Amino acid sequence: MIWVVDASVAIKWFIVEETHPRADEVLERIISEPRRFAVPELFPFEVFAVLHRLHPDASQVFEKAIIPLLQGGIFRQPMTWELASKAGHFIRLGLTGYDACYAALARDLGGVWLTFDDKAHRLIERENLSCLLAQRLPRDW
């Protein structure tokens, strides 16, 4: 199984008020099995932007923690016409363009999108592509 990691998960690793034990479990698993994880290319940009809004030492966190994770074996999907085309389905279901890319990547890889975004998860719950980490870890974890 491939797990597609949402930026909402990564933020919980570094913002004290946002920490969550399931986010920590995802991080541990990424470190030990990076090739089982994927992100769309927008992931580091989202994390970078949010860290700079919320973390007092955002640049150092990004450099010392996020960059090594991204270089550690996680699959990084560039934006292609194929991914954009598949994301269109999820936009029609109500997802933002960003979230639609995560969902489309999960579908494309036969994986599951791990997120803390309750609204996005509810919009595509019938698609069986997302796991709301606030409720549980995914099946087959």
Range of the domain at 36: 3-132
Query: Is residue 80 in some structural domain?
Result: yes
Q: 80's torsion region: left (phi>0), alpha (psi -120 to 50) or beta?
A: beta
Give the domain CATH number at 54: 3.40.50.1010
Q: What is the mean pLDDT of residues 101-106?
A: 98
Q: What is the mean pLDDT of residues 21-45?
A: 98
Q: Based on the structure, what is the number of domains in the chain?
A: 1
Query: Is residue 139 in some structural domain?
Result: no
User: How much of the chain exceeds pLDDT 90, in percent?
Assistant: 98
> What is the C-alpha separation between 71 and 124, in angstroms, rounded?
30
Query: Is residue 53 in some structural domain?
Result: yes
Query: Is residue 73 in some structural domain?
Result: yes
Nearest to 87 by CA among 78, 79, 77, 97: 97
Confidence of residue 139 (pLDDT cuts 50, 70, 90): confident
Query: Is residue 125 in some structural domain?
Result: yes
Query: Is residue 140 in some structural domain?
Result: no
Query: Is residue 91 in some structural domain?
Result: yes
User: How much of the chain exceeds pLDDT 70, in percent?
Assistant: 100
Please tell me the pTM assigned to this model.
Answer: 0.96
Mean pLDDT of the chain: 97
